[in-house]
């Protein structure tokens, strides 16, 4: 696939990078990234991957845009309140870059549907906001052997790790199973500084691009933690856990299953 | 004894096991923490029987479920 003159101009700042070049840009245009959750983390990831010229973006989200989302979910704008997040995000992506094909999945990721979707992509970004989905994505990417970026944000903190299934530590190597629902901070206690989503979601997009281009060192076997108040970034070294119930030699988990604590509904508590 | 906890040197009582360290270090919600000791993630059931030693490197890794979605 040769680049058009318009594309050479649009992506000129990539093309002049030795590590990207025209060939790298063509690779990106031929790549497919799945973003699970078009919320805080998914928003910046989708915006940058669209501008980057990743040719196909998949978006999974079953939610509508809510006024409380706009403080951090920068892909959704005030007039979008009440519309499906995947539609709102698709419109912004189209406006940024018509080179990008967007596939929308207005559904909740479950054990029944996720593996078949993940299978169609080169890289997956976990932009979800609950432990059930985070474990489900980790497990689906393991069974489909797809690389993915895990991340979480809370209050003034964020963290992320890239997982190459079978090669590097997975989410279950670190956190064996979802915490008991009673221990999860209730929705109204949690809160998050909006810009955290931008910092961490953009790092996830960076990992996707590096993976697609085969550049640099991925954030594997390292959990990068970020404290916005102290401005400390720390990479905690990790190893694959031989006791991992998913990717260890004596794995107990042999098929994809849902693991979902009760949903968190802030509106119900106000 | 001195331990390195999340990258910082901390002085703490001798002879603690991992469960006692969680209390001693004021970890408020141990259910939300995974413990790495000298590069190995520990299963919860060994906390009680795992003794800490001078110079051990301990990482408390916190569960972070948020993604800036609906929460
Ligand atoms: Zn694992």
Domain locations along chain A: 31-256
Selected catalytic residue, list A141, A187, A247, A264? A187
In which band, very low, low, confident or very high, does the pLDDT at A136 lie, cut at 50, 70 and 90?
Answer: very high
Say how far residue B11 (Cα) sits from the centre of its chain: 14
- How high is the mean pLDDT of chain A? 93
Q: Give me ligand 1 centre to Cα A150, in Å.
A: 13
**Would the CB atoms of B69 and A184 count as touching at under 8 Å?**
no
How remote is the CA of residue A104 from the centroid of ligand 1, in Å?
A: 29
Return the pLDDT at A1. 67
CB contact under 8 A, B64 and A176: no
Q: Are the beta carbons of A170 and A237 closer than 8 angstroms?
A: no
Query: Which chain A residue lies closest to B28 (C-alpha atoms)?
Result: A183
Distance from B11 to chain A by nearest Cα, in Å? 21
- Ranges A33-42, A43-52, A141-150, A258-267: which has the least confidence: A258-267
* Least confident residue range of A47-61, A105-119, A178-192: A178-192
Q: What is the pLDDT of residues A241-253, one digit of tens each?
A: 999 999 999 999 9
- For residue A226, CA distances in Å to A28, A197, A223, A233 come to 28, 11, 10, 5
Contact flag B64-A223 (C-beta cutoff 8 Å): no
Flag whether pLDDT at A141 surpasses 60: yes
Separation CA B67–CA B71 (nearest Å): 8
Q: Considering the domain A31-256 in this protein, what is its CATH number?
A: 3.40.50.720
Residue A268 has pLDDT above 50, yes or no: no
Question: How far is the centre of ligand 1, averaged over its atoms, from the C-alpha of A167 (Å)?
Answer: 10
Does B69 touch chain A if contact means CB atoms closer than 8 Å? yes
Instruction: Return phi, psi of residue B20, to 5°.
Output: -65, -35
Whether residue B65 and residue A130 make contact (CB cut-off 8 A), yes or no, is yes
Written as six digits, the tokens of A50 are 């669209």
The answer to whether the CB of A65 falls within 8 A of the CB of A81 is: yes
Q: What are phi and psi of A224, to 5 degrees?
A: -90, 120
Closest Cα of chain A to B16: distance in Å? 23
C-alpha A161/C-alpha A152 separation (Å) is 10
What does the pLDDT read at residue B68?
61
- Please give the helix or strand (H or E) that residue A21 lies within, else none: helix A21-29
Higher-pLDDT residue of A1, A254: A254
Separation between Cα atoms, residue A270 and residue A194, nearest integer Å: 20
A45 → chain B, closest CA residue: B67
**Contact yes or no for A152 and B68 at CB 8 A:** no
Taking the model in full, what pTM does it have? 0.94
Q: Which of B44, B71, B13, B30 shows the shortest CA–CA distance to A73?
A: B71
Contact B43 A243 (CB under 8 A): yes
- Which residues of A fall within a CB distance of 8 Å from B44? 176
Residue range A178-224, pLDDT digits in tens? 888 777 765 546 799 999 999 999 999 999 999 999 999 999 999 99
Q: Are the beta carbons of A131 and B36 separated by less than 8 Å? A: no
Three-state SS for A40? coil
Query: Which range (A84-93, A106-115, A173-182, B36-45) has the least confidence?
Result: A173-182
Hey, what CATH class is B2-62 in? Answer: alpha beta
The residues with which A236 forms a beta bridge, in sequence order, are A223
Residue A129 has its nearest CB partner, among B34, B36, B69, at B69
Cβ contacts below 8 Å, chain A against chain B, sum to 113
Cβ neighbours around A252 below 10 Å, total: 8
Q: Are B34 and A161 in contact (CB under 8 A)?
A: no
| Domains of chain B, residue spans | 2-62
Mean pLDDT of A47-67: 98
Q: What would the pLDDT profile of B27-45 be if each residue is shown by its tens digit?
A: 988 888 999 999 999 999 9
pLDDT band for position A266 (50/70/90)? very low
What integer is the mean pLDDT of A124-147? Answer: 96
Bridge pairing between strands A32-36 and A56-60: parallel
Q: A65: Cβ–Cβ under 8 A, 6 or more apart, which residues?
A: A73, A76, A80, A81, A82, A83, A84, A85, A88
CA atoms within 13 A on the CB side of B26: 1
Which residue among A129, A243, A266 places its CB closest to the CB of B66? Answer: A129
Nearest-CA distance A5 → chain B (Å)? 38
What angle is formed at CA A247 by the lines to CA A133 and CA B47, rounded to 5 degrees? 85
Backbone angles phi, psi at A47, to 5 degrees: -60, -45
Residue percentage of chain A with pLDDT more than 70: 94
Interface contact B29, partner A, CB < 8 A: yes
Token couple for A157: 């903190």
């Amino acid at each position: 696939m040769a680049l058009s003159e318009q594309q050479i101009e649009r992506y000129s700042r990539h093309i002049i990078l030795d590590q990207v070049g025209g060939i790298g840009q063509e690779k990106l245009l031929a790549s497919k990234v799945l973003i699970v959750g078009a919320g805080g983390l998914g928003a910046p990831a989708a915006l940058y991957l669209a501008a980057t010229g990743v040719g196909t973006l998949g978006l999974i989200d079953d939610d509508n845009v809510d006024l409380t989302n706009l403080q951090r979910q920068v892909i959704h704008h005030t007039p979008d309140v009440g519309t499906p997040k995947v539609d709102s995000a698709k419109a912004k992506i189209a406006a940024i870059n018509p080179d990008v094909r967007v596939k929308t999945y207005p559904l909740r990721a479950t054990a029944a549907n996720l593996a078949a979707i993940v299978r169609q992509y080169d890289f997956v970004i976990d932009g979800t906001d609950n432990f059930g989905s985070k474990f489900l994505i980790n497990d689906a990417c393991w069974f489909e052997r797809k690389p993915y970026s895990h991340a979480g944000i809370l209050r003034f903190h964020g963290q992320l790790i890239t997982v190459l299934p079978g090669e590097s530590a997975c989410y279950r190597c670190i956190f064996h199973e979802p915490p008991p629902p009673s221990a999860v901070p209730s929705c109204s206690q949690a809160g998050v500084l909006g810009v955290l989503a931008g910092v961490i979601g953009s790092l996830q997009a960076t990992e996707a691009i590096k993976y697609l281009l085969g550049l640099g060192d991925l954030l594997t076997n390292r959990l990068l933690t970020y404290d916005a108040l102290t401005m400390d970034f720390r990479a905690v070294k990790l190893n694959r856990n031989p006791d991992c119930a998913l990717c260890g030699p004596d794995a107990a988990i042999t098929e994809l299953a849902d693991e979902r604590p009760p949903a968190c509904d802030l509106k119900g508590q106000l | 004894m001195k331990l390195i906890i999340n990258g910082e040197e901390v002085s703490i009582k001798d002879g603690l096991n991992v469960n006692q360290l969680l209390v001693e270090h004021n970890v408020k919600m141990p259910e939300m923490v995974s413990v790495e000791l000298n590069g190995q993630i520990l299963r919860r059931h060994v906390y009680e029987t795992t003794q800490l030693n001078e110079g051990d490197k301990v990482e408390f890794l916190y569960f972070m479920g948020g993604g800036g979605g609906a929460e």
